Structure formats: C-alpha cells, structure tokens
Amino acid sequence: MNERNAPSRGLAGLFGRGRGRASGGNADDGSAMLKGRHIIEPGNLSLPELDGLFDLAESIVKDPARYSEVCRGKILATLFFEPSTRTRLSFEAAMLRLGGSTLGFAEPGASSTAKGESLADTIRTVSSYVDVIAMRNPKEGAAHLASQYSSVPVINAGDGGHHHPTQTLTDLLTIRSIKGRFDGLTVGLCGDLKFGRTVHSLAKAMSRYPNVRFVLISPPELEIPDYIIAKVFKPSGVQYTQVRRLEEAIGDLDILYMTRVQKERFFNEQDYVRLKDSYILDAEKMRLARPDLCVLHPLPRVNEIAPEVDADPRAAYFAQVRYGMFARMALIMKLLGIVEGGGKKG
C-alpha cells in the first residue's frame, strides 16, 4: 500500500486535504526529497533538484531499457481539461516506457465535469485510484487548487496563461543537452509573451542561473506581464531588454524561443487576427543569426516558423519534443521516489 494511504492515517489519511508535501524546492540533495512533491510551477524545484533530474533524464536517454520496468504497478492519470498533443501524449508515453500504466481523459466533456462536478471532487476521486496526476486546466491556479485536494503528487501540465513547469523541464533539458550550460546565455523570447505560460515558466526558471540575459521580442499588446518583471526579473537581477523586431535581436542570441499567439486566451477575434502573424522566423532571418543559435518552440506552431527552417541544423524544436518525454520520465520517477533504474538487467 502506498504510504499516503496507510491505514494508521485512518479516513483522514485516505481522503485528507493537501497531504502532498508543500512545494518547497528547498532540498539540497538533488533527488530523494522530490518524492511526493506537487509540481505547480518551476520554483517548486531547486537548482540541485533540477540537476539531479536532468542527470537522470540523460541516463534514461542513454539506456532506456534499464528503466523500462521501474514503474511497474504504478498508475499515472492524465486529466486534460484543455486540448493537448505533446504534453498529454508525452506524459503517457513516459509512464508506459517506465513500465507503468495510464488512465484519464483528454477533454472535460468526457468526465463528470460535464455534469457539474467540482475540480476538488474530481481530484479527490482520481487520487484515490492512481499514484500521480498530470493535469491541464484553462484556469490559472487550478493546479494549485488540485494539489490541496490530492492525496498523490499533482503535476501542473498548464494552468491557463500562468505556468507550464514540465514544458520548462523539456526546454531546460534541451538547452543543457545542446549548449552544455545555462549560465551566460542570451535568450530571446519571441511572440506572445503575455499569455504564453511556457514563456512565464521558462523566464522564471532561467532567471535563477548566473549571467543569463533576456531579449523580450513582442508587440506592445503582447508584452510579458508586469508581475514577471516585478517578481522574477527585478529580484533576481537578471538583465533584460525589450525590442519589437526580431531582426534587431536575432544576431545576439544563443537561444531563440519562438511562441504561438495564444488564440484561446484572447477576448476578441479581431485582436487575434491583427497580432497572430507578428513574427515569422524564416530562412532570411536565420541568415542574420549566429551559427550556434538554438531555435526552440514549445509547439504547436501555427505560422511563427516557416517550414523551410526545419532543415536548418539550428532548429531544435523537434529534438525538444523528444527531450520532453525523457524529462517527464525522470520527473515521474523522482515524484514516485524511484531512485535508480532497477529494471531489466543486461
């Protein structure tokens, strides 16, 4: 029996609120302390914990067979109240490749949410069945709320325009694998910096590394929210500049993080239509970039990157997709307290 459901805890132990450990991110040992943690935003993981997680992800990349049975008997729920391709399927692929199982729903209409059930009750129910929950919800704060009612770890797979921490793990693992470091990088964030939750999470995570510089490339209507500047950039002392044209900035960048204009978060269609093609990365703009630029995009792309760029060796967004699965494999193992590959030998 899972220690969370141990009989000694009685009914309170079985159904109690908020028993997942507070998302602290203060542990220094880089691994063991992650067991049972909720992952709501990037700050829930300390830098040593991130290092431990990326080390594990890299070991899985090198020898996936070693990890193919480590989650045998464990179940991941994917509760998606908003559309997804990569995040949901990479979570499911991750759990299946660790030997575990998955259940869940890909749209709220297929759950009792359609009958009016509250998120709290859905989470109380699902956490009685599974070992870990990955949830996406259009409402900011939904993942935090879910964590208060869950008896198992909740992983935020995107809460509205707020945060998307496992996309950040994906982005950081890709950067670490390609660049070999985080410190001293100049990172261009381009597109919808206002509503793009992947941008908010990446900005928060990268601000913790030394000498990182951000170049914020957006139209005035889609600038990064003030709270990121006030609560993330200013306290960390990270350098940032704002520009309007991608051509002005691209030559200075180590990383270019392109994003889609988030249609579903606009209040009116006209504004979306006006802004949707603000930036299109094409072969001509790539000629202005450094030979070692790394182009990332959380995907899905709409028009922001012309298909001609896909063949450029600096385009890393499909490699990034694959790193996402390995990052999630490592995260699931850590949250379940599975420390090392004890799977198939030889």
With binding defined as CB under 6 A, does residue 204 bind ligand NCD? Answer: no
97 contacts ligand NCD (rule: CB under 6 A) = no
Residues touching ligand NCD, count (CB under 6 A): 10
174 binds ligand NCD (CB under 6 A): no
Who's near 140: CB < 8 A, 6+ residues apart?
A: 159, 160, 161, 162
The pair of three-digit structure tokens given for residue 188, joined into one six-digit string: 């261009």
- In the bound state with ligand NCD, the residue whose beta carbon lies nearer, of 102 and 167, is 167
For residue 299, state whether it binds ligand NCD (rule: CB under 6 A). yes
- Contact code string over 120-159 relative to ligand NCD, x by CB under 6 A: --------------------------------------x-
Residue from 37, 164, 276, 334 that binds ligand NCD (CB under 6 A)?
164
Closer by beta carbon to ligand NCD, 45 or else 321: 321
Instruction: Pick between residue 105 and residue 149 the one whose CB is nearest to ligand NCD.
Output: 105
Name which position in 38, 74, 97, 197 contacts ligand NCD (CB under 6 A): 197
Residue 86 interacting with ligand NCD (CB under 6 A): yes
Per-residue string for binding with ligand NCD, 259-278, x by CB under 6 A?
A: -x------------------
| CB closer to ligand NCD out of 158 and 188 | 158
Site for ligand NCD in 222-261 (CB under 6 A): 260
Q: What is the number of alpha carbons within 13 Å of residue 193 lying toward its C-beta?
A: 27
Q: Is 203 in the site for ligand NCD (CB under 6 A)?
A: no
Closest Cα to residue 44, out of 98, 74, 36?
A: 36
Residues 6+ apart with CB under 8 A from 288: 247, 250, 251
* Nearer residue to ligand NCD within complex by CB, 197 or 276: 197
Under the binding rule (CB under 6 A), the answer on residue 87 touching ligand NCD is yes
For ligand NCD, the binding residue among 52, 104, 153, 298 (CB under 6 A) is 298
Q: Does 167 bind ligand NCD (CB under 6 A)?
A: yes
* Cβ-based nearer residue to ligand NCD, 85 or 118: 85
Nearer to ligand NCD, 153 or 191 (CB): 191
Footprint of ligand NCD on this chain (CB under 6 A)? 86-87, 158, 164, 167, 197-198, 260, 298-299
